[in-house]
Amino acid sequence: MDIILDGVKQAIGLLIHLDPALLEIVALSLVVSGAALLISMLVGIPLGVWLGLRRFLGRRLVVTTVYTGMGLPPVVVGLAVYLFLSRQGPLGELGWLFTPKAIVLAQTILALPLVVGITMTAIAAIPRELVLQLRSLGATQGQINRTLLYEARAGVLAAIVAGFGAIISEVGAVMMVGGNIEHKTRVLTTAIVLETRKGDFALAIALGLILLALTFTANWLMLSLQRRLDSR
């Protein structure tokens, strides 16, 4: 119990004094996870809408692949990204291994299937009659898509929250492709692992509490946005 209390006190102290090392870790965590989430949204939401609306040969295979991707083991993703970005890999010339770009790539691969899959399910749940009605009124495909996204806003926001939760708390893939290098690729999750291994449980708990606070804040903002949209 004393360790937990020390962790809480240390977390508060680090935040009050704006510890530079902590701020650097938090900032990098938000940057890489934010970039991965943004890419996943820009690619995943339109793809999820398209899959939710279209019926084509091989769709079942594509949907099965998406659902399989939603449960990808992070260490497998980390291994695949590591091999692709290593010097002997096909993307080795990029020089991304053990850089924030490698972390963004790994986190995007983890978040993208979640965003696609949940968005697809939310769009597919909308009655087909709405699409037919919109088309009969002369709506363009873009207008139809925007209307469907608004109707499925709860599901789309859930997709974003799920994607963010999967990557902000991920450690295995991030450790493998980022290397947990101080001042370069160390994020909250890898810092927690490092401090735990060093036996500095108080600092590890402090970092864990900060990670939980960030996750809670992100989810609270998403729920607030959903309520605002529902009230319109």
The CATH number assigned to the domain holding 46 equals 1.10.3720.10
Least confident of 22-31, 193-202, 219-228: 219-228
Do 150 and 97 contact (CB within 8 A), yes or no?
no
Is the model's pLDDT at 110 over the cut of 90?
A: yes
Which residue would you say has higher pLDDT here, 105 or 55?
Answer: 105
Is the model's pLDDT at 209 over the cut of 70?
A: yes
13 located within any domain: yes
CA dihedral (147, 113, 51, 123) positive or negative: negative
pLDDT (tens digit, 9 = 90+) per residue, 143-169? 888 888 888 888 898 899 889 988 998
Residue closest to 108 by CA, chosen among 154, 166, 153: 166
Give the confidence band of 1 by pLDDT, cuts at 50, 70, 90: low
The residue-averaged pLDDT of 12-27 equals 81
157 located within any domain: yes
The pTM of the full predicted model, rounded to 2 decimals, is: 0.89
* Domain, as residue range, for 104: 2-227
69 located within any domain: yes
Tell me the C-alpha to C-alpha distance, in Å, between residue 13 and each of 10, 157, 192, 202, 208: 5, 34, 17, 12, 14
36 located within any domain: yes
232 located within any domain: no
Tell me the C-alpha to C-alpha distance, in Å, between residue 192 and each of 7, 25, 153, 155, 210: 12, 11, 34, 32, 11
23 located within any domain: yes
- pLDDT value at residue 230: 67
**Domain total of the chain:** 1
- pLDDT value at residue 31: 95
201: Cβ–Cβ under 8 A, 6 or more apart, which residues?
A: 3, 7, 195
Which residue would you say has higher pLDDT here, 227 or 194?
Answer: 194
Which residue would you say has higher pLDDT here, 43 or 146?
Answer: 43
53 located within any domain: yes
Residue closest to 144 by CA, chosen among 206, 67, 53, 19: 53
The residue-averaged pLDDT of 195-213 equals 83
Residue closest to 173 by CA, chosen among 111, 87, 106: 106
- pLDDT value at residue 107: 97
134 located within any domain: yes
